[in-house]
C-alpha cells in the first residue's frame, strides 16, 4: 500500500574540521515523539506531490495519503522533514525535529474520504507500535501553529482517531471545571502556545469542538479540564 518516492542516504559527518572517523555502535536514530497531521490544501494529489517534492517550495512531510488511501513516503522517518514551520507545542519550538508529519490529500473544504482515514489509522498504528508515541501527542498543524494554520480543518474526524487511541477527546456529559479554573493555564498544560492565547484558544476549539456544538464558557472550561485530566492519566 505504500509507495516510497524518496529516501535519504546515511548521514555523513558534516564538520569542516579535520577529524578522524572511528565508528561507534552506541547511538540511536532520531526518535519522533509527536505526529502532526495536515491537509494539503491542494485540489489534486498530483499538485500536492509536486509541492512536497519541489526544491523551490522547501516544504515536505514524511507521508502523504491520497483520497483513495494510497500512502506515499516522501522522507525517511529518521530525517527531519520540513512540515511544521514556525511552531510551538509543550515548550518545544523546533517541532520538525521531534515529530513526524503526515499530509492528507484534501483541499480543506471537504470531508475526508473514508479510505483515506482507514489508511491513516493503519499508518498511525504502525508508527505508535515502533515509537511508543503517547496518545496525547497525535495533534494537528493548527495546534502547533495556531496563528498561521487551520489544518487539518473542521472536517477532520478527531473523535474517530481518539477512539483508536490517537489523540484526546471528551464527550458530554462533562464534569464542571473546579472553582477558580484557569482556561489559559489549562491550554498551556495541554500543549498550546501561551504567547498567542486567542489563536491557541481558537485552535483548541477547532480540534476538540464539533461544528454543530454551541460552546458556553462553562462548557469550554469543562472540556479543557476533561482533556487535561485525560492527558495526565495517559502519562508521558
Catalytic residues: 103
Helix axes 183-190, 197-208, angle to 10 degrees: 70
Quick count: other Cβ atoms within 10 Å of Cβ 67? 17
* Alpha-carbon distance values, 166 to 122, 194, 208, 236 (Å): 11, 24, 13, 14
* Beta strands at 63-65 and 71-73: parallel, antiparallel or unpaired: antiparallel
The set of cell numbers assigned to 191 is 500543549
| Separation CA 109–CA 155 (nearest Å) | 8
Q: Around 58, how many Cα atoms within 13 Å sit in the side-chain half-sphere? A: 2
Residues in the chain: 236
Q: Give the H/E segment covering residue 225.
A: helix 217-234
- Classify burial at 171, counting beta carbons within 10 Å of its beta carbon; exposed 0-12, middle 13-18, buried 19 or more: exposed
Question: Interior CA angle at 234 toward 231 and 236, to 5°?
Answer: 85
How many Å separate Cα 154 from the centre of its chain?
Answer: 15
DSSP category for residue 11: P
Amino acid at each position: 500500500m505504500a509507495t516510497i518516492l524518496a529516501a535519504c542516504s546515511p548521514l555523513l559527518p558534516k564538520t569542516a574540521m579535520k577529524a578522524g572517523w572511528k565508528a561507534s555502535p552506541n547511538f540511536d536514530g532520531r526518535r519522533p515523539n509527536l505526529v502532526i497531521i495536515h491537509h494539503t490544501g491542494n485540489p489534486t494529489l498530483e499538485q500536492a506531490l509536486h509541492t512536497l517534492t519541489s526544491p523551490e517550495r522547501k516544504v515536505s512531510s514524511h507521508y502523504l495519503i491520497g483520497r483513495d488511501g494510497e500512502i506515499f513516503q516522501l522522507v525517511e522517518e529518521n530525517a527531519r522533514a520540513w512540515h511544521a514551520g514556525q511552531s510551538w507545542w509543550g515548550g518545544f519550538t523546533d517541532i520538525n525535529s521531534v515529530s513526524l508529519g503526515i499530509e492528507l490529500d484534501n483541499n480543506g473544504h471537504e470531508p475526508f474520504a473514508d479510505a483515506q482515514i482507514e489508511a491513516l489509522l493503519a499508518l498511525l498504528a504502525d508508527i505508535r507500535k515502533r515509537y511508543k508515541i503517547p496518545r496525547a501527542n497525535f495533534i494537528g498543524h493548527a495546534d502547533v501553529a495556531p496563528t498561521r494554520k487551520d489544518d487539518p480543518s473542521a472536517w477532520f474526524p478527531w473523535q474517530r482517531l481518539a477512539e483508536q487511541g490517537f489523540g484526546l477527546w471528551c464527550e458530554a456529559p462533562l464534569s464542571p471545571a473546579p472553582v477558580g479554573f484557569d482556561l489559559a493555564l489549562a491550554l498551556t498544560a495541554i500543549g498550546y502556545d501561551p504567547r498567542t492565547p486567542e489563536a491557541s484558544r481558537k485552535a483548541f476549539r477547532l480540534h476538540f469542538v464539533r461544528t454543530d456544538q454551541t460552546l458556553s464558557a462553562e462548557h469550554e472550561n469543562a472540556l479543557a479540564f476533561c482533556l487535561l485530566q485525560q492527558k495526565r492519566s495517559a502519562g508521558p
